[in-house]
Amino acid sequence: MNPLFPVFLKLDHLDVLLVGGGNVGLEKLSAILANSPRCAVTVVATYIREELRTLAQLHPQVQLLERPYQEADLENKDLVILATDNPSLHVSIKEVTRQRRILTNVADTPNLCDFYLGSIVQKGDLKIAISTNGKSPTLAKRLRELLTEVIPNDIQLLLDNLVVIRDRMKGDFQSKITQLNKLTESLVNKEDPSDS
C-alpha cells in the first residue's frame, strides 16, 4: 500500500533551501524551476556546477551561496531539499528540520524524506505527478515517457474548451457534473472510425 498523499504545492509562495550544487543539486533545481519558474530558492554549496550557475542567472529569485551549510540557512525556509554527497550532513540537517517542522526531501534517501519529488508529465495546464513510493524512480521515469508520448500536445485546447463550458453551466456542483457527463458521454460512446 502506498500511504503517500499527493499534493501540488504553490512553490512561488514558498521559500526553498537547496543544499548541494553538484549534479543532483542541478537536477533538483531544474525540476523546481521547470514546474515553478518564480520559486525563491537559496542554494548553499561548497561547490556549484557551472550549469547550475547558468540556470540561476536566468532566475533572479535564485540565490547562490558558495560556502558550507550553516544552521542559520534554515531561517524562514518552508521547504528543504538536500542533495549533497554527504550522508552524515543530510542526517544532521534532517534532525534540525524535523524539530523545526520544515518539510524535507533528501535525495536518494527515502527513509529521511517527508515528501518525494515525483516524475512529472506536463502538457499545458495538465500536470500529472507519478510516484512509486520511492521504490523505483526508473519505473516512474518510464511511465512519464509513456504518458508524455500518448497525451496529445494540443490537450490545452480541450482544457480551455472545458473551462468555458463549465463556466457557462448553471446549478450546484452535482448538476454541473451531470451536465458535463452528458456532454462528454458522446465522446466515449462514439464509434471509432478505425474500428470499421
| Residue 185 or 189, more confident | 185
Burial of 131 (0-12, 13-18, 19+ CB in 10 A): middle
Largest Cα span, the chain: 68
Domain contains 60:
yes
Separation between Cα atoms, residue 148 and residue 69, nearest integer Å? 37
Query: Which pLDDT belongs to residue 190?
Result: 56
Domain contains 57:
yes
pLDDT digits (tens, 9 = 90+) for 10-21: 999 999 999 999
What average pLDDT does the segment 44-70 reach?
98
Query: Which pLDDT belongs to residue 42?
Result: 98
Residue 183 confidence class, pLDDT cut points 50, 70, 90: confident
Domain contains 193:
no
pLDDT digits (tens, 9 = 90+) for 95-118: 999 999 999 999 989 899 999 888
Place of cell 505527478: 129
Range(s) of the domain holding residue 93: 11-117
Domain contains 170:
no
Report the percentage of the chain scoring pLDDT > 90: 71
Domain contains 5:
no
Q: What is the pTM of this model?
A: 0.84
Domain count, the chain: 1
* Helices vs strands, H then E, count in the chain: 6, 7
Q: What is the CATH number of the domain that holds 70?
A: 3.40.50.720
Residue 185 confidence class, pLDDT cut points 50, 70, 90: confident
Domain contains 146:
no
Pairing state of beta strands 126-130 and 119-123? antiparallel
Helix axes 173-189, 155-168, angle to 10 degrees: 140
